[in-house]
Structure 1
Amino acid sequence: MAQFSTLPAELRLLIWEFALPARVVEMGEPCDPDIIPEEDLRQAWILNKKHPAIAYVCWESRQIALAKSKLPRGVILAPDSITDARWWSKSTDIIHFNAPPEIINAAQRCRLADGLLDLMKVPILRKMVSISADVVHPFLRFRNRSDLPRSLVWEVICATKICIISLHTVCIRATVEQARELGLFGNGDEPAQLIDPFDKAAIQRFRQLWDNTKKEVSSVKFFDTIDTGRFTFRVERWLAEMSAEYIHFKWTSPPFPTPNPRDITALLRRYPDQRRSPEAKQYLVGFPRLELRIMFRLCPPALVD
């Protein structure tokens, strides 16, 4: 540390900035009925909100960490906003909107709607938007969609042009030391990760970590199906259903003589591969680019014991 302190101040500041974790910063507390006990998910969420490790190294590093999590000049959050001020962090690349509980009251619905609309500001800040599939259209068929207006959700998604959709959440009850050994979760400082479900190498690394931990039913089912044709079919079916919802949202009086939107949406829900047909494609012009991801969360046992 003595040698580091002799470096020019400008260089030290650059090093501290480089050491900041690139976190997925979340809006709203997550809700997932498959993760039991529910407190595990809440504690994992709290872990992701804590200041990074470099905030506790020294005064200089702490100032950098705190400065990077301040709101931009001129931006003010309402006192009752669900948006965590840290979601504006300059070291953050992705802003994720969590699925709320299935049953919410009118006041909660209004706050959630305001939080969802906040996502429309994200592209201006050159950040990516991520939304839980349960907010838009549940990936798992037995799930209920969140109680937010469909038109509002689609308005936000279409405004982003490129939107990450988190299909499923996997909680891994590993220690920070175990994560560090495999170089996962940013050595424990990035406890929420959005991973491409078709990136087999990355999924395998998370599975390796998960194999040595306490397992829950939902994560077992996920790892049992992720490499199978069944999972691929479910993704195709979900994309077709999303396409049908988009057509329903956008087209009330289409300029196309035939077929009409209802026929196309019914066809998509019955035959997912029709998403690539010329008849469907004419209705899907402007359909936002969706990047599908799996949310992996680090939930150290010490947090839940």
Structure 2
Amino acid sequence: MNNNSFHYFPRLPLELRRLIWKLCLPHRIAEEDTPDFLLDGNESRQACYGDRITHQNAQPPTIAFVNRESREVALENGHRLELDDTTSLAAIWVQPRRDVLHLNWTRLRYIVWGNADDPASPIAMYLWRAEDLGMQPSVVAEIIRPFSLKALFDHPDGADACDNPWFLYHRSRNQEVSDIAYCAESPSFSRLDVTMSAVSLHITRKTALRSGLFGLLGDAPVQMVDVGDEARLKEFQALYREYALEKEPAVQTLFETFTSPRFQAAVQAWKSQAELLILAYMWRLARRDNLDILGTNPGSAWLPQLPEQAFLGMPEYLPDAEYSPDERHPWVKQARESAPKLRPRIMVRYCTNECYIKERLPSNFGTF
């Protein structure tokens, strides 16, 4: 906001001025790390170097730098969060009552780093951090079960977007889903936002500001749109078509895909499989803890019923159809109720780097 354009602003009552400053605060997707594998060009055919936008998104909001009064409002609603265990950024600015806390990490990062056998995962600490801050957690689909846009692009006559690459598992166990299942008992963990794909709009900061789609002051460069929210997606698509279509025509295919029935069906299939996988890991934890609700035979939660001493293998059986949960079983009913509700979303970013110019990307970007 430029005070010179409204000379009577300083004369307004303090309470009203503070309310105006607060209205200027963004609602952000607070990223803990960079979205390297969402924007590497292998899946979406759009390469984008998201590092600079991620760091910009981690800074205090614009009003924190206007004057002392506006900075006080910014400090009342946000603070710097130190990330000692993060895989990328050391600190980010968060507004717990306004922001979504997002993690871009996937186990694929270990493959690229050359330590694929490392069982460590930041998911448990991340979920506990989100709970402690009272923030809505958000992750990428890959940590639960793969979702392949590339399969949808390469096989238009019908390919499974939910393939099952080995790198998700450490010793036949998906540690990330196990951590999600462990946290499912927390009453505050009722929903988990899941990013299915991402798109970057390569536009100027001035264009992003004028659009109003990236915060009132253009300081919310990362946005999320619910899968199925065609009206919201069309707003971003219209911005792209006006300012970036000629420079990067391939992105039009992305927007067309996001609103296609095939994409919607693929997302719903992924969601059903992901929910079943989480349920299976909740069952394994319940069996390990000998919860009474499972009764004398934990296998009774499944159809066909498992022998009393049998374990349900992961990922060999689920969510592939050899066993299915008995929806009439009391434990299954309770687990379905307590499991986090998955909310599939599409990440939309604006980027000023003009990444469609190959020389502007790092030399090894998108080579995996």
Alpha-carbon separation, structure 2, partners of 1:208 and 1:276: 46
1:132 aligns with 2:140: yes
1:60–1:30 CA distance, 2 compared to 1 (3 A): same
Q: Is the CA contact (8 Å cut-off) linking 2:21 and 2:73 kept in structure 1?
A: yes
Q: Is the CA contact (8 Å cut-off) linking 1:138 and 1:167 kept in structure 2?
A: no
Alignment root-mean-square deviation, CA: 3.8
Residue 197 of structure 1: how far off its partner (Å) = 1.6
Residue 67 of structure 1: how far off its partner (Å) = 4.7
- Structure 2 residue ranges without an equivalent (≥5): 149-161, 285-297, 307-311, 361-368
The letter of the residue matching 2:175 is P
Alpha-carbon separation, structure 2, partners of 1:275 and 1:256: 6
Query: With structure 1 as the length reference, what TM-score do the two structures score?
Result: 0.78
Alpha-carbon separation, structure 1, partners of 2:86 and 2:255: 36
Query: With structure 2 as the length reference, what TM-score do the two structures score?
Result: 0.66
1:221–1:39 CA distance, 2 compared to 1 (3 A): closer
Residue 177 of structure 1: how far off its partner (Å) = 2.7
Match of 1:97 among 97, 103, 109: 103
Q: Secondary structure at the match of 1:296?
A: strand
Q: Is the CA contact (8 Å cut-off) linking 2:32 and 2:92 kept in structure 1?
A: no
Alpha-carbon separation, structure 1, partners of 2:83 and 2:91: 11
The letter of the residue matching 1:295 is M
Q: Secondary structure at the match of 2:301?
A: coil
The letter of the residue matching 2:228 is F
Q: Secondary structure at the match of 1:295?
A: strand
* 2:248 alignment partner in structure 1: 215
* 1:154 alignment partner in structure 2: 181
The letter of the residue matching 1:171 is S
Q: Is the CA contact (8 Å cut-off) linking 2:140 and 2:194 kept in structure 1?
A: yes
Q: Is the CA contact (8 Å cut-off) linking 2:301 and 2:325 kept in structure 1?
A: no
The count of aligned residue pairs is 295
Q: Secondary structure at the match of 1:222?
A: helix
Aligned positions of 1:206-285 closer than 5 A: 206-211=236-241, 212-213=243-244, 214-215=247-248, 219-252=251-284, 253-256=298-301, 258-260=303-305, 269=320, 284-285=336-337
Aligned positions of 1:1-305 closer than 5 A: 1=3, 2-32=7-37, 34-36=39-41, 40-70=49-79, 79=84, 85-90=91-96, 92-100=98-106, 101-103=109-111, 104=113, 105=115, 110=120, 113=122, 116-140=124-148, 141=162, 145=168, 149-150=175-176, 151-156=178-183, 159=186, 160-187=189-216, 188-211=218-241, 212-213=243-244, 214-215=247-248, 219-252=251-284, 253-256=298-301, 258-260=303-305, 269=320, 284-301=336-353
Q: Is the CA contact (8 Å cut-off) linking 1:195 and 1:295 kept in structure 2?
A: yes
Residue 198 of structure 1: how far off its partner (Å) = 0.4
Q: Is the CA contact (8 Å cut-off) linking 2:34 and 2:50 kept in structure 1?
A: no
